[in-house]
Amino acid sequence: MKLTWMLLLILPAVMLATIIEGGPGDRIMGFAPGDTLVDTLVVMVRVPARIGLYVNGNTEFDLADPTVTFPPVAFPGYYDPTLVGGTNPDGVDVEVFSNSQAMTWHLETSGSADFSATIALDQLFYAPDGEANPVDGTDPPGGNWVSFTTTYTEIANGLNTTGWQDESQDYVFQAETDDAPTPAAGETVTIYYRVYAQ
């Protein structure tokens, strides 16, 4: 009998219970126990299409370094950097970022000018990190080695990089028979890297 009374009291409350819904800014009310209140709001996220470029590693070729054999046995001779500013011991650190799956990014490089009247910009070569060094006496160096020019040349391209993508470059300097001695401070050029998407 007690159970019947309890059911008679609870059943109407359950049967009469309603779900009351509201939206952003609504102040909704209901009866307790019995009613269920549901309020909603909208969350929006905006992510821009972005590209990024990271370059690190001022590079030096010191052919007077005691660990370097200069002149080479055969010309042209190819030399690794003797000092780098980044973490790639053979050249420069280069990383690219793109979060677009619709636009293609393009990584390009160029140089500013010749080192001197006798040392041309195109005696500096670059290749993807890990490329085997050219053999002394071979010209051109072969493999994936490309000489720098004052015109931008594409290194790589792609879509979404899923984070920062490594595009690091190794450098070699091609010593030739007509390279005149440089001042003690050396001769320098500026190397440019650029990224754009389209």
86 is in which domain, residue-wise?
51-197
What pLDDT digit, counting tens, does each position of 138-150 carry? 999 999 999 999 9
What pLDDT digit, counting tens, does each position of 142-171 carry? 999 999 999 999 999 999 999 999 999 999
* Rounded distance between C-alpha atoms, residue 77 and residue 79, angstroms: 7
Beta carbons of 184 and 85 less than 8 angstroms apart: no
Whether 34 and 59 share a structural domain = no
Whether 35 and 113 share a structural domain = no
Hey, how many other C-beta atoms are within 10 angstroms of the C-beta on 27?
A: 6
Quote the pTM value.
0.83
122 SS3 class: helix
Whether 127 and 167 share a structural domain = yes
Task: Quote the number of domains for the chain.
Answer: 2
Q: What is the DSSP annotation of 171-191?
A: EEEEE-TT-PPPPTT-----E
Beta carbons of 81 and 63 less than 8 angstroms apart: no
